[in-house]
Amino acid sequence: MKWRRGRRGWAALLGATALSTVVLLTAGCEAIGYYAQSIGGHLGVMAQAQPLTDAIASAHGANDARLAQRLALAGRMRDFASRELKLPDNGSYRRYANLHRPYVVWSVFATPELSMELRKWCFPIVGCISYRGYYAQSDAEQYAQGLRRDGLETYVAGVPAYSTLGYFDDPLLNTFVYLPEGELARLIFHELAHQVVYVRNDTAFNESFATAVEAAGVERWLDQDASEDARTSYRRYDARRQQFRALLLGTRDRLVALYQTPLDDAAKREGKAKIFADLRAGYARLRTEWGGYSGYDRWFDQPLTNAHLAAVATYQQWVPAFTALLARCDGDWQRFYAEARRIGALPAGEREAALRRLAPPATRTDTLTAGGKAAAN
């Protein structure tokens, strides 16, 4: 196992080991198994990481020009993130690990049958969050199966990257280095943003903040460092993504409204089935409009549930508010981060009120109804 030799690397390792021991000693049997896989899985990822310069040299030695090019590109993005976006200048994304699997973790999301409120799980350090991650897909599927037996709807999503909030130097991974240029930049900026501002027990705040940073950051990257082909490709892809998200969020809003009516459960189930049928029909129309583009077919090939839509909403709920805040700060990243920290330090009710005031009027109604009860937590 190769760890960084600096004080921060050893301190993080020793701190994590001590915390892990306390967690395992105080947890129940089911929790012990979960924390053990989390600790072992993360340490396994870290053990496989090597410095970026070594990884690029190894790629050249193996005649893997594509990997070498992608790692070099990621390195330039990493430098850009600290230089231009004022994101942390540390060892994160300056190493590379090939995990030989498509995702680093699989996250489980769950909701009741007739509610858009995501179930939450509480952990040391990060607080309560709206998902539960596993390093093995089979473990995630098994846990989701148990939730379904309890009457919940579930969504198991493969996740290409995650943030340790600066406690460790998160590496570049094979699970995302081959993404299109704009998407790779978004992901790196998003995960680094979590190291700047993180509020315990508020997934929507954290993910919306990071999503706003990634969106604004990638625009600067494309304007300053990307080729014309990369810009054109990204604009086309992002336009489709915005339409896809709008379709999902509109569907989510219809379901929220349905579940809040005084109808009995049977009538709600009937209305729910119609709304999901409308969602699939809406996607078919989009696909035709896109000339047959099939990039989201895989998402629609699975049985869709409330949990799928609630998970998407978690990343989008307060994005308009943070985008407006960045504009109010005249694009000054340091001022923006300071203001985000200030808002994040407010009590939950005041924090939500501050974000509501920031949200543009055109999005304010959707923002308020988007998450149901989950949005207020």
Question: Does residue 223 surpass a pLDDT of 90?
Answer: yes
Residue with tokens 């989390």: 38
Q: Which of 22-26, 102-106, 335-339 has the lowest mean pLDDT?
A: 22-26
**pLDDT tens-digit map of 347-358:** 999 999 999 999
Instruction: Tell me the residue type at 263.
Output: L
Token pair of 145 as six digits: 């199966």
Could you tell me where the DSSP H helices lie in the chain? 7-26, 29-47, 52-61, 65-84, 137-149, 181-193, 203-225, 228-259, 265-289, 297-300, 306-316, 319-328, 333-344, 348-358, 361-370
pLDDT for the residue numbered 126: 82
Give strand pairing partners of 97. Answer: 173
What is the average pLDDT across 326-343? 98
Residue 33, pLDDT above cutoff 90: no
CB 311 within 8 A of CB 245: no
For strand 95-97 and strand 172-173, is the pairing parallel, antiparallel, or unpaired?
parallel
Which of 327, 334, 337, 331 has its CA nearest to residue 359? 327
- pLDDT band with cut points at 50, 70 and 90 for residue 362: low
User: What's the pLDDT tens digit per position in 207-219?
Assistant: 999 999 999 999 9
What mean pLDDT comes out for the span 326-341?
Answer: 98
* Predicted confidence (pLDDT) at residue 316 exceeds the cutoff of 70: yes
Distance CA 139, CA 127 (A): 22
Nearest to 186 by CA among 143, 140, 237: 237
- Greater model confidence, 163 or 372: 163
Average pLDDT over residues 143-170: 96
Predicted TM-score of the model (pTM)? 0.86
Mean pLDDT (whole number) for 301-318: 94
Pairing relationship of beta strands 153-159 and 105-111 according to DSSP bridges: antiparallel
Closest CA to 255 of 300, 206, 312: 312
Which strands sit side by side in the sheet containing 153-159, from one edge to the other?
Answer: 132-134, 105-111, 153-159
Look over the chain and give the mean of its residue pLDDT values, rounded to a whole number.
89
Segment 142-147 shows an average pLDDT of 98
